[in-house]
Amino acid sequence: MRNLTEENLTDAVLGRLSDCGNPRIRQVTASLIRHLHAFIRDVEPTPQEWFAGIQFLTDTGKICDDKRQEYILFSDTIGVSMLVDAINNRKPIGATESSVLGPFYVEGAPERSSGADLAPGEGPGVLVSGMVTSTDGTPLPDAVLDIWQTAPNGLYHVQDSAAPEHHLCGKLHAGPDGRYSFRTLKPVSYPIPTDGPVGKFLEELGRHPYRPAHIHFIVSAPGFKPVITQLFTEGDEFIETDAVFGVKNSLVVNYLPDGEEWKMDFDFVLEPQH
């Protein structure tokens, strides 16, 4: 076809996919073209607006390096990361729900037994405790909880050169009854990085960059599907407006006074691997 018009252009582009030998790439590309063309027809951008879009994507790529992933941040802030997470983690009722991994997970946190203190000498602390079970209620004594969170200054240890290595992190092994406990500090709410194109984008939209306070977990046990999740603090001022849309009701927890410190209980429920 050589008489390409506003009306027939989409079909012409889709037609060029017929020689693609990979059915999944063909399906994904066809969907992308259909949706992108529909978006352009909806918005009718001027050439200047089209170029502003190109410039945003260019700037987003330029700021990425081996430590910073601005495209993931973009995906997070428009709800795409949580949508992909939801599609890939359809849990049976009762199983602990998932949330995004986030950019601050570091493998290789020190192994710790249940009862460990992740913040010795710092306080006031929180005693976090609970149980890890299967969806049928069976305790899972071989469960491991990989834990990471912010310090009171709002930084993860990987962001803070002054923090001790693996500060407020650990790979905690549940006890023989499937119970676990550890002492840590209350997490705090923090802003996602705002010094790049995504920060400017949020500002343009009139959105704040904050995430409500949370502790990250990857909970696993042999024979069970691991869950990547976060526990959010009830009453946090950003609980309704998480910048990355990660909050679920079942993951919101209460911190209760416990003498001079705090306590928080949460039971994790894992789904058997099929």
Active site residues: 156, 190, 211, 214, 216
Footprint (CB under 5 A) of Fe ion, residues 12-31: none
Task: Give min distance, CB of 139 to Fe ion, in A.
Answer: 28
Task: Give min distance, CB of 84 to Fe ion, in A.
Answer: 17
Footprint (CB under 5 A) of Fe ion, residues 85-114: 102
Rounded distance between C-alpha atoms, residue 254 and residue 211, angstroms: 17
C-beta of 180 vs 210, nearer to Fe ion: 210
Find the distance separating the first CA and the last CA of the chain, reported in whole Å.
Answer: 50
Task: Give min distance, CB of 224 to Fe ion, in A.
Answer: 24
Among 115, 105, 176, CA closest to 147: 105
Among 114, 69, 113, 96, CA closest to 253: 96
Give Cα 34 to chain centroid, integer Å. 29
Total of chain residues touching Fe ion, rule CB under 5 A? 1
Q: What 3-state DSSP class applies to 147?
A: strand
Among 101, 80, 90, CA closest to 229: 101
Task: Give min distance, CB of 103 to Fe ion, in A.
Answer: 8
Residue 125 near Fe ion by CB under 5 A: no
C-beta of 131 vs 168, nearer to Fe ion: 168
Residues that bind Fe ion (CB under 5 A): 102
